[in-house]
Structure 1
Amino acid sequence: MDQSPFNLIANSLIAKISSSHISQASLDIGVYDDLQNFKESLLSIKALLRNIDFVKVQIYSTQLWLREIKHVLYDAENVLDEFECERLRNEMVNAHVNSRNKSVTDTVEEMEEQQIIQLRNILQKQKFLLVLDNVWFEDPLKWGELMNLMSSSMEGSKILVTTRSHSIASMMGTIPSHNLKGLSMEDSLFLFEKIAFKIEVGREIVNKCGGVPLAIRLLGKLFSDYEIHEWEFKTDIEFWDVTLDDSILPARPSSYLHMSFHLKQCFELFSLYPNNFVFHSSEVASLWAALGLLPSPNSDETLIDVANRYLLELMSGSFFQNFLNFGTSYYFQIHDSVNDLARSIAKYECHMVSSNIQNVPENVQHLSFAEDDLLGNSFTSKSVAVRTILFPIEGVGASSLAFLNMCVSRYRYLRILDLSDSTYETLPWSIGKLRHLRFLSLERNEKIKRVPVSICKLYNLQVLNLVGCIKLEILPKGLRNLVSLRQLGITTKEAVLPENDIANLNSLEILNIESCENLQSLFVGIKLPTLRTLTVTKCGSLKSLPLDINHFPQLETLLVDNCEYLDLTKGYDNLNSNLRLKAIHLHSLAQLSTIPCWLQESTSTLQSLLVVDCKNLEVLPEWLSTSSSLVSFGMVNCPKLMFLPNDFHRLTALGYFRIEGCPELCRKCQPQVGEYWSKISHINQIFVDQPEDIKEDEKEEQLEEEL
Structure 2
Amino acid sequence: MEIIGQKFFNILVMRSFFQDFEDDDEGNIKSCKMHDIVHDFLQFLTQNECFTMEVKGGNNTKKPLGDKIQHLTLVLAPTGPLSCVLFSSCNMRTLATFDSKFNVVDSTLMSQLKHLRTLNLSGNCIEELPKEIGKLVHLRFIDLSYNDDLKRLPNAVCNLYNLQTLRLNWCRVLESLPQSMGKLINLKHLYVRGCFRLKYLPKGIGRLTNLRTLDRCPVGGGKDNDEAFKLGDLRNLDQLQGLLPIEIDGDLKLVAGEGEKALPLGNKQQLLHLRIEFVGWTQLFHWRKKI
Q: What TM-score bracket applies, with the shorter chain setting the length?
A: 0.7 to 0.9
The structural deviation recorded for 1:324 is 7.8
CA distance in 1 between counterparts of 2:142 and 2:82 reads: 22
| Counterpart check, 1:362 vs 2:78 | no
Shift of the 455–425 alpha-carbon distance from structure 1 to 2, 3 Å rule, reads same
Q: Which residue of 2 is the match for residue 550 of structure 1?
A: 266
Q: Which residue of 2 is the match for residue 405 of structure 1?
A: 107
Which structure 2 residue ranges, 5 or more long, are not aligned? 224-228
In 2, are the aligned partners of 1:450 and 1:474 still within 8 Å (CA)?
yes
Q: Which residue of 1 is the match for residue 208 of structure 2?
A: 505
CA deviation profile, 1:390-428 (whole Å, cap 9, x unmatched): 1244xx342243xx3243121111111112123232222
Q: Number of matched residues?
A: 265
- 3-state SS in 2 of match to 1:447: coil
- 3-state SS in 2 of match to 1:534: strand
CA distance in 1 between counterparts of 2:75 and 2:145 reads: 17
Q: Which one has the largest radius of gyration?
A: 1
CA distance in 2 between counterparts of 1:377 and 1:480 reads: 30
Q: Which residue of 2 is the match for residue 63 of structure 1?
A: none
- Residue 440 of structure 1 aligns to which amino acid in structure 2? I
| Percent identity of equivalent pairs | 27
Q: Which residue of 1 is the match for residue 231 of structure 2?
A: 524
- 3-state SS in 1 of match to 2:216: strand
- 3-state SS in 1 of match to 2:266: coil
CA distance in 2 between counterparts of 1:408 and 1:391 reads: 15
CA distance in 2 between counterparts of 1:424 and 1:397 reads: 8
Select the structure that is richer in strand: 2
In 2, are the aligned partners of 1:540 and 1:564 still within 8 Å (CA)?
no
CA distance in 1 between counterparts of 2:124 and 2:29 reads: 27
CA distance in 2 between counterparts of 1:559 and 1:311 reads: 28
Q: Which residue of 1 is the match for residue 51 of structure 2?
A: 351
Q: Which residue of 1 is the match for residue 226 of structure 2?
A: none
CA deviation profile, 1:192-221 (whole Å, cap 9, x unmatched): xxxxxxxxxxxxxxxxxxxxxxxxxxxxxx
CA distance in 1 between counterparts of 2:128 and 2:54 reads: 26
| Counterpart check, 1:493 vs 2:200 | no
CA distance in 2 between counterparts of 1:363 and 1:565 reads: 56
CA deviation profile, 1:160-182 (whole Å, cap 9, x unmatched): xxxxxxxxxxxxxxxxxxxxxxx
CA distance in 2 between counterparts of 1:457 and 1:378 reads: 22
- Residue 455 of structure 1 aligns to which amino acid in structure 2? V
Q: Which residue of 2 is the match for residue 616 of structure 1?
A: none
- Residue 51 of structure 2 aligns to which amino acid in structure 1? H
Alignment of structure 1 residues 495-644 onto 2, 5 Å: 495-498=199-202, 500-513=203-216, 519=221, 524-525=231-232, 526-527=234-235, 528-534=237-243, 536=245, 549-550=265-266, 552-556=268-272, 565=281, 567-569=283-285, 598-599=287-288, 601-602=289-290, 605=291
The structural deviation recorded for 1:387 is 0.9
Select the structure that is richer in helix: 1
CA deviation profile, 1:69-128 (whole Å, cap 9, x unmatched): xxxxxxxxxxxxxxxxxxxxxxxxxxxxxxxxxxxxxxxxxxxxxxxxxxxxxxxxxxxx
CA distance in 2 between counterparts of 1:557 and 1:341 reads: 41
In 2, are the aligned partners of 1:372 and 1:399 still within 8 Å (CA)?
no
CA distance in 1 between counterparts of 2:264 and 2:150 reads: 35
In 2, are the aligned partners of 1:475 and 1:492 still within 8 Å (CA)?
no
The structural deviation recorded for 1:557 is 5.8
In 1, are the aligned partners of 2:244 and 2:271 still within 8 Å (CA)?
no
Q: Which residue of 1 is the match for residue 154 of structure 2?
A: 452
Instruction: Point out which structure has higher relative CO (alpha carbons under 8 A, 6+ apart).
Output: 2
Q: Which residue of 1 is the match for residue 92 of structure 2?
A: 386
CA distance in 2 between counterparts of 1:382 and 1:452 reads: 26
CA distance in 2 between counterparts of 1:376 and 1:411 reads: 13
- Residue 93 of structure 2 aligns to which amino acid in structure 1? R
Normalising by the residue count of structure 1, what TM-score does the alignment of the two structures yield?
0.33
- Residue 568 of structure 1 aligns to which amino acid in structure 2? L
| Counterpart check, 1:314 vs 2:12 | yes
- Residue 314 of structure 1 aligns to which amino acid in structure 2? L
Normalising by the residue count of structure 2, what TM-score does the alignment of the two structures yield?
0.74
The structural deviation recorded for 1:375 is 6.2
- Residue 351 of structure 1 aligns to which amino acid in structure 2? F
CA deviation profile, 1:48-87 (whole Å, cap 9, x unmatched): xxxxxxxxxxxxxxxxxxxxxxxxxxxxxxxxxxxxxxxx
CA distance in 2 between counterparts of 1:376 and 1:473 reads: 24
